[in-house]
Amino acid sequence: MASVRNPRRAMRSFWVLVVMAILLTGALSNALTRDPSPITGMVVALVGTLLALTVTQASRIMMAFGRTTNLGGGPARRAQTGDIAPAAPRAFEPEASARRRGDVSG
C-alpha cells in the first residue's frame, strides 16, 4: 500500500481498532483471572488471537500514515528513492581523525 486512499476512513478504522484492543485487553485480563478450565482456556486463546489481530491491523494503518507523511523528502522517503548521502566519518574512528589531520592519504 503506497498511500492512504481515504484518510478519514483509515483514521476512523484506526481508532475503532484501538478501542477494540483496549476492550480485548480487559477481556483477556478478566479471562486470565478466572479458575482454570477448558472453557477458560478457549476464551483466553480466542481473545488473545483477536487482540493480536487487532493490534497488528492498527499498526499497519499507523505505518501507512507514517509513509504518507514522509513523502516530502524525510528519511523514510530518501531511503525508498536511494537519495541517501554517504555518512560522514565518525570522530572516534582513528582513520577519520587521521584523515582530517592529513596524516593518511585517502
Q: Tell me the pLDDT tens digit for each residue of 48-103.
A: 999 999 999 999 999 888 776 555 555 555 555 555 555 555 555 556 556 666 66
Give the C-alpha separation, 26 to 19, whole Å: 11
At 37-59, the pLDDT tens digits run: 999 999 999 999 999 999 999 99
Predicted TM-score (pTM) of the model is 0.60
> CA–CA distance from 77 to each of 31, 33, 65, 81, 97 (Å)?
44, 46, 13, 6, 32
Where b means 16+ CB within 10 Å and e means fewer, 49-75 reads ebbeebbeebeebeebbeeeeeeeeee
